[in-house]
Amino acid sequence: MVMRFVDREEDLEALRRTLDHGPSLIRVYGRRRLGKTEMLTRLCRERRGTYLLVEEGDLGHQLRSLAQQLPPSGGPLPSPFPTWPEVLERIAKLRTPFVVLDEFQRLVRKGSPLESQLQHHWDSVLSKRGPSLVLCGSSVGMMRRLTRRPQAPLFGRLHADLHLRPLGYAAVRELYQRAPEEERIRRYAVFGGTPFYHTFSVGRGLDEALTDALLSRGAPLLDEPLNLLRLEIGTPDRYHSLMEEIGRGTHDLPALEASFRTPSGRLTPYIALLRDDLDLIRMENPVGGPKKRARYVFADPFFAFYYRFVPEVRPLIEAGSAADALVRIQEGLEAHVGRVFERVAAEALMRLNGSAWRGVKIEFQEIGRWWSRRGEEVDLVARGGAEVLAGEVKWGGGPMKPGVLWSLERKADGLDRPAAMPLRFVFASRHGFTAAMRREAGARGAILFDLADLTEVFSRARPSGDRPSRRERPR
């Protein structure tokens, strides 16, 4: 099924703006399946750019393939076995405004001279008369290495730097325009923010989509996380096991080390690669709390769903019992959706940041969760210069009652905030609020969101400046 192209318009606009200023060196990177190639091929069609794919294989095969992809306007290559400088010289002669080198990390193996040759050619030729170069890659760590240190070959040379991450809920919900908000949240909770995964879901019932995409032998997403790891690592067993443990609910480093019976510090390189090079997990600190209580969580809901359910039901899948596997998932699905609903509520607040909701100004610099050593948790905490927002988010049960507010008041006493700083409560509830809860919340100036409110928030135009910044070097 052909899906709508959503959310990348601001990324495209950043690229257009940079290309409009003359020869530019641009990096676009992010893990696989996030729509980088689709975005860049659209830009090539719009701006008559040239798209080149770096294939797998040895360097000689890669260079021959690039030479064959180059349009004839660059003139003939001097030999059937071109060198990298010869390919770059041919690129410099193209009558095209920019060239995309996709999967660029395949060229820049450790110790390769290609990076320094690219630097020399950029400094001496391309930066003066073009065409612009867009270096695109899916190996996050390797693409970052190009500029990580002052000695790195492209350090200080980028005119724009776009790190593409999974789509947020606001974009994903646009793929399901005819669905009620509740169903949109479920699809985001299961298939996450990766556009490709939603090709198996859009236009189909959730049970059917789950069965065909994940719960049958040979299903297209059944081995997706392991295949991603194999492409980037080669021997992914320990990384896969680590993510399975996080999926089972083990989130802090000491507990992870205990589960693997490994000495302190031994897991740190594995976690760092999953976090910094692959964008699969992220470190979450309690807002206002000490960093030594950090947790490791999945960066995208699909991987949280996958590692929560698929390893458990894998024997049923292999036995051909997709229906039984689906029943087992359904038993725990609502609890999983409830945790993702917290992310949706946080995204709603971020969307409102810098504006007003029902007459209340919302402004903060930091947002996340909070937890204490004693096991108390607050689902949402947003800290600003004028006040602190503390919130509870409920997916299950009926309409929210005042007891949730009173419980939050007690837990909020443990938040680290200046004594004089005001505290405002926020509540999000799938099933709305009782009349008593609305009265109590109104008396305290609390902010309430039911599903209808969230529909309104995500349908609003986004306030300017609430997107993550993209680095663009002034000319």
**Domains of the chain, residue spans:** 9-164, 170-340, 356-459
What Cα–Cα distance (Å) separates residue 335 from each residue in 18, 181, 189, 226, 302? 44, 17, 11, 25, 14
Residues 6+ apart with CB under 8 A from 242: 256, 260, 267, 270, 271, 274
Sign of the C-alpha dihedral, residues 213, 215, 216, 217? Answer: positive
Helix, strand, coil share of the chain (percent; to 5)? 45, 15, 35
Q: CB burial class (10 A; 0-12, 13-18, 19+) of residue 298?
A: buried
Sign of the C-alpha dihedral, residues 105, 111, 112, 114? Answer: positive
Please indicate, yes or no, whether the overall pTM of this predicted structure exceeds 0.75: yes
Question: What dotted CATH number matches 356-459?
Answer: 3.40.1350.10
Pairing of strands 160-163, 50-53: unpaired
Tokens of 318: 């292999």
Q: How far apart are CA 342 and CA 335, in angstroms?
A: 11
Q: Show contacts of 265-269: CB within 8 Å, 24+ apart.
A: 267/242
CATH superfamily label, 9-164: P-loop containing nucleotide triphosphate hydrolases (3.40.50.300)
Tokens of 124: 């001496």
Phi-psi region of 290 (alpha: psi -120 to 50; beta: other; left: phi over 0): beta
Q: CB burial class (10 A; 0-12, 13-18, 19+) of residue 225?
A: buried
Per-residue pLDDT of the chain (475 residues; tens, 9 = 90+): 445 556 688 889 999 999 999 999 999 999 888 889 999 999 999 999 999 999 988 888 999 999 999 987 666 666 677 889 999 999 999 999 999 999 998 888 655 788 889 999 999 999 999 899 999 998 888 888 888 788 788 888 999 999 999 999 999 999 999 999 999 999 999 999 999 999 999 999 999 999 999 999 999 999 999 999 988 887 899 999 999 999 999 999 999 999 999 999 999 999 999 998 889 999 999 997 766 788 999 999 999 999 999 999 999 999 999 999 999 999 999 999 999 999 999 999 999 999 999 999 999 999 999 998 888 899 999 999 899 999 999 999 999 999 999 999 999 888 888 778 899 999 999 999 999 999 999 999 999 999 999 999 999 865 544 443 344 443 4
Q: How far apart are CA 131 and CA 93, in angstroms?
A: 8
Report which residue type is found at 454. L
Sign of the C-alpha dihedral, residues 330, 334, 339, 341? Answer: positive
The DSSP element (H or E) to which 116 belongs, if any, is helix 114-121
Output the pLDDT for position 200.
95
Q: How far apart are CA 129 and CA 199, in angstroms?
A: 41
Output the pLDDT for position 299.
95
What angle do the packed helices 322-352 and 206-214 form, to 10 degrees?
110
What angle do the packed helices 301-318 and 224-232 form, to 10 degrees?
110
Report whether 135 contacts 102 (CB < 8 A).
Answer: no
Report whether 30 contacts 140 (CB < 8 A).
Answer: yes
Output the pLDDT for position 27.
94
Q: How far apart are CA 242 and CA 219, in angstroms?
A: 23
